[in-house]
């Protein structure tokens, strides 16, 4: 077992965006450096990690193929392990090998599948802190949220392990493996969770590592699953180069995609042409409406929570649609709350032995995204948006001299111009936009600006008003004065309009989406030929 020097070195870099004043000298929490995490990975799963890289997993073996790309941590700009990108031909071999695994796995008795998935969950539980630490370095999650991502994956799959039998009654695995292409923001609670449930239902599973981060966390999770005999394939590569294998290949039984609308539209076209089973979760502008409302203390209490992980979530709320006559009261509740947002280095502490810092968010996924979002804010203001709040990195918790180029403090804009992407699209960052309306018709039009969303909320004092307006909001989940989330366990999930294509998931629907049922079954979902609610 090798314990050579890790492939990356934690380095401090000076950056012109770094705060010039630091009230306290902070340091890295002990035993949380990237080098520490990497050495632990080498010790826990030497079959999947090399001194200088991670490996791809296909054909039931770890493969030292692909071209490793350089990568940096959003936390401080220091180098970390990058994805070993395969070419299209090798990806095709991996898919064909997965089909062989699928044909064997689908005949494994349910009790055996359940035992192997349960053993995988036990292994993930033993290494939950390492998995969470990898999430901190690779995608910038604060410790509390990184642990929650790991725990939601474990607890969610255990719910299926305990109750899978009635969900599979009269159903059978698909004819081929499930191909998973997911975004970087929830590697465990979305991607690994889905993969293990798909395997529990009798399918071999394939996953492409997200381009922007999470490769080491996913590699460790898949190593623990592969040891228990779960038929998992993990490959890296560009979406364009691997789409022929991971989306269009005849061996694939279902495509599960989580990501943006542009890429999702291309995947949707491909699966529709092929008549292939699919689950495509895409972005939408989730909105929070305020109409004839007075419980401002309740709203103020929830505002900081809406900034969790810098709003880099598919169920984040970046848009408030506010009744104009209530705008002054809204601001009186909103502005003091947004000024309490805590940002900074997720591992920076006063003393090495101190607890992890309590933060609302750390960096965005990379410096390029931070620059893009900052440029969008500047352009929106130049075109007429009114800046109501702009936080400062000088108020954040950072190590002395560290690179802060991936960090963006909270920003709130009133009236983003129609020409701005912030007017109609999800920013995927800590930017709130506010639109003022005078009539219920304007309220609904503004809340439906993106042709469908995953979640929405309407805050109003009158229950009858909520009951009348909520059905006209084009979101799959609508909260009454409180935020909605993707949900866990039995809670269903989907989207309206362009925010979702294919089968809905969550609870029993996730199992139905990746298995075959009786006759000409019509799955609940949003399909080109029909839309069927559960």
**What's the pLDDT tens digit per position in 239-264?**
888 989 999 999 999 999 988 777 76
CATH class of the 287-480 domain in this structure: alpha beta
For residues 400 and 443, give the distance between their C-alpha atoms in angstroms, rounded to a whole number.
46
* 3-state SS record for 272-336: HHHCCEEEEEECCCCEEEECCCCCHHHHHHHCHHHHHHHHCCCCCCCEEEEEHHHHHHHHHHHHH
For the cut 60, the answer to whether the pLDDT of residue 5 exceeds it is: no
Query: Which residues of the chain does CATH 3.40.309.10 include?
Result: 287-480
| Nearest of 90, 119, 105 to residue 238 by alpha carbon | 90
CATH 3.40.605.10 domain span(s) along the chain:
37-282
Q: Mean pLDDT over residues 333-352, rounded?
A: 97
Query: Is the per-residue pLDDT at 22 higher than 70?
Result: no
- In this model, does residue 8 exceed pLDDT 60? no
What mean pLDDT comes out for the span 105-118?
98
The top-scoring range by mean pLDDT among 7-16, 87-96, 484-493 is 87-96
User: Any bridge partners for residue 516, and if so which?
Assistant: 172
What number of residues does the chain have? 534
The whole-number pLDDT of residue 264 equals 67
Strand, helix or coil at 155? helix
* Residue whose entry in the numeric block shows the structure tokens 């969303």: 453
Q: What is the mean pLDDT of the chain?
A: 92
Of 91, 124, 314, 99, the C-alpha closest to 222 is: 124
Handedness of CA 448, 453, 456, 462 (dihedral sign): positive
pTM of the model: 0.92
**Contact of 234 with 191, CB cutoff 8 Å:** no
Band (425; pLDDT cuts 50, 70, 90): confident
Average pLDDT, integer, range 509-527 = 93
Give CA–CA dist 130/188, Å, rounded: 13
pLDDT band at 23 (very low <50, low <70, confident <90, very high): very low
Which residue has better confidence, 51 or 13?
51
CATH 3.30.565.10 fits 37-282, yes or no: no
pLDDT band per the 50, 70, 90 thresholds, residue 21: very low
Average pLDDT over residues 45-66: 96
Q: Beta strands 287-290 and 453-459: pairing type? A: parallel
Q: State yes or no: pLDDT of 300 exceeds 50.
A: yes
How confident is the model over 518-529, as a mean pLDDT?
89
Mean pLDDT value of segment 466-473: 97
Mean pLDDT for the stretch of residues 69-90? 96
Instruction: Indicate whether 448 pLDDT > 50.
Output: yes
Contact in structure between 192 and 116 (CB atoms under 8 Å): no
- Residue 252: helix, strand or coil by DSSP? coil
- Beta strand 172-173 with 515-516 is antiparallel
Relative orientation angle of helices 128-139 and 215-227, to the nearest 10 degrees: 150
pLDDT in tens, 214-230: 999 999 999 999 999 99
- In this predicted model, which residue has the larger pLDDT, 284 or 101? 101
Q: What is the mean pLDDT of residues 336-350?
A: 97
DSSP bridge partners of 397: 344
For 128: left if phi > 0, alpha if psi spans -120 to 50, otherwise beta; the answer is alpha
Q: What per-residue confidence (pLDDT) applies to 477?
A: 95
**pLDDT over 70 at 458, yes or no:** yes
């Amino acid at each position: 077992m090798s314990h050579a020097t890790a492939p990356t070195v934690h380095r401090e870099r000076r950056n012109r965006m770094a705060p010039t004043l630091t009230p306290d000298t902070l340091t890295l929490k002990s035993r949380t450096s990237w080098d520490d995490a990497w050495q632990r990975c080498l010790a826990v799963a030497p079959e999947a990690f090399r001194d200088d890289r991670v490996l791809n997993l296909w054909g039931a073996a770890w493969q030292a193929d692909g071209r490793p790309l350089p990568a940096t941590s959003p936390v401080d700009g220091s180098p970390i392990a990058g994805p070993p990108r395969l070419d299209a031909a090798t990806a095709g071999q991996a898919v064909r090998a997965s089909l062989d695994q699928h044909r064997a796995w689908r005949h494994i008795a349910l009790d055996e599948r359940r035992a192997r998935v349960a053993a995988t969950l036990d292994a993930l539980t033993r290494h939950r802190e390492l998995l969470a630490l990898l999430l901190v370095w690779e995608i910038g999650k604060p410790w509390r949220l990184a642990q929650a991502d790991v725990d939601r994956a474990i607890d969610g799959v255990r719910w299926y392990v305990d109750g899978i039998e009635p969900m599979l009654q009269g159903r059978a695995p698909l004819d081929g493996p499930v191909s998973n292409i997911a975004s970087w923001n929830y590697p465990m609670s979305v991607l690994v969770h889905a993969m293990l449930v798909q395997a529990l239902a009798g399918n071999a599973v394939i996953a492409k590592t997200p381009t922007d981060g999470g490769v080491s966390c996913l590699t460790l999770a898949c190593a623990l699953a592969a040891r228990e005999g779960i038929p998992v394939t993990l490959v890296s590569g560009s979406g364009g180069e691997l789409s022929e294998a991971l989306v269009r290949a005849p061996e694939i039984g279902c495509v599960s995609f989580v990501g943006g609308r542009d890429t999702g539209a291309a995947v949707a076209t491909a699966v529709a042409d092929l008549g292939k089973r699919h689950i495509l979760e895409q972005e939408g502008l989730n909105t929070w409406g305020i109409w004839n409302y007075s419980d401002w203390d309740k709203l103020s209490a929830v505002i900081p929570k809406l900034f969790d992980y810098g709003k880099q979530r598919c169920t984040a709320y970046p848009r408030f649609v506010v009744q104009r006559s209530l705008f002054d009261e809204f601001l009186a509740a909103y502005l003091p709350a947004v000024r309490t947002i805590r940002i900074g280095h997720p591992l920076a502490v006063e003393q090495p032995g101190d607890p992890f810092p309590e933060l609302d968010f750390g960096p965005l996924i990379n410096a390029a995204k931070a620059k893009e979002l900052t440029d969008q804010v500047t352009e929106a203001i130049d075109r007429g948006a009114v800046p109501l709040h702009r936080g400062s990195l000088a108020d954040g918790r950072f190590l002395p001299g560290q690179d802060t180029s991936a960090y963006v403090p909270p920003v709130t804009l009133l009236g983003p111009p129609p020409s701005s992407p912030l007017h109609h699209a999800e920013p995927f960052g800590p930017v709130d936009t506010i639109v003022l309306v005078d009539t219920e018709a304007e309220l609904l039009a503004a809340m439906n600006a993106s042709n469908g969303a995953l979640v929405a909320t309407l805050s109003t004092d009158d229950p009858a008003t909520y009951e009348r307006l909520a059905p006209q909001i084009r979101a799959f989940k609508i909260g009454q004065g409180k935020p909605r989330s993707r949900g866990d366990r039995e809670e269903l999930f989907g989207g309206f309009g362009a925010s979702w294509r294919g089968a809905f998931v969550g609870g029993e629907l996730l199992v139905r989406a990746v298995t075959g049922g009786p006759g000409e079954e019509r799955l609940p979902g949003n399909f080109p030929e029909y839309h069927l609610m559960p």
